[in-house]
């Protein structure tokens, strides 16, 4: 059945998904140029890319693979849907590293940093919206929360908030233990928790309005 579904994927779905992935990856990377803190879902990968001296994209790919592995353990199986998350994880990591090479390293003041942060959140939200509308592969960051919902029988929003808080706490503790300072978490992390979700909702309303 899943193989049949793959055959039914349209070019429009694929283009929308890849476009959304590119926009989301650019937004994720741009948040690292603000020096105000990255989104909760990116905080672990960003901080460990600093600790281990590896690229942000590579760290993000490793984190996604961990998420996929945890899903397999929780579900006690490795389905085709889980397998398809692997190339998705690789592409996101690759796109992040490409944009990391293209976008110059900045040292913005607070005002410009805040502007970049808002822009990065808007891009991330639009990218997430496009990928969701394509209705193909769920990214590992959201897929693991969905898996937790199935296992724990809790609402997605309830577990997503707690999952993000857990990631942020893990990032903070890792920084304090490994380098004796907090890396990747700041004002931007708090703003991202609100703004990315709002952007997804606003984009949906705008698109639906123009469809009528």
* pTM (2 d.p.): 0.87
Chain-centroid distance of CA 72 in Å reads: 20
Coil, strand or helix at 208? helix
C-alpha dist (Å) from residue 136 to 18, 20, 131, 146: 10, 12, 8, 15
Residue 1 scores a pLDDT above 50: no
Per-residue pLDDT tens over the stretch 52-108: 999 999 999 999 999 999 999 998 888 888 899 999 999 999 999 999 999 998 888
- Do residues 185 and 37 make contact, with C-beta atoms less than 8 angstroms apart? yes
Angstrom distance (rounded) from CA 153 to CA 81: 20
Residue 142 scores a pLDDT above 70: yes
Locate 89 and state its tokens: 């994880």
């Amino acid at each position: 059945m899943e193989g049949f579904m793959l055959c039914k994927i349209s070019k429009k779905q694929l283009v929308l998904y890849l476009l959304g992935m590119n926009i989301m990856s650019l937004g994720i990377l741009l948040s690292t140029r603000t020096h105000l803190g990255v989104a909760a879902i990116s905080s672990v990968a960003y901080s460990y890319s600093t600790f281990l001296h590896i690229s942000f994209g590579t760290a993000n790919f490793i984190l996604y693979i961990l998420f996929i592995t945890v899903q397999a353990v929780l579900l006690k199986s490795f389905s085709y849907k889980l397998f398809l998350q692997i190339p998705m994880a690789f592409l996101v990591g690759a796109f992040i590293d490409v944009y990391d090479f293209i976008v110059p390293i900045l040292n913005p003041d607070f005002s410009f940093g805040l502007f970049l942060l808002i822009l990065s959140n808007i891009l991330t939200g639009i990218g997430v919206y496009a990928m969701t509308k394509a209705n193909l592969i769920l990214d590992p960051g959201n897929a693991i929360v969905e898996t937790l919902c199935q296992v724990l029988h809790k609402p997605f929003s309830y577990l997503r908030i707690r999952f993000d808080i857990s990631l942020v706490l893990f990032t903070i503790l890792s920084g304090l233990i490994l380098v004796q300072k907090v890396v990747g978490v700041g004002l931007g992390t708090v703003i991202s928790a609100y703004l990315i979700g709002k952007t997804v909702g606003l984009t949906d309303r705008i698109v639906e309005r123009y469809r009528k």
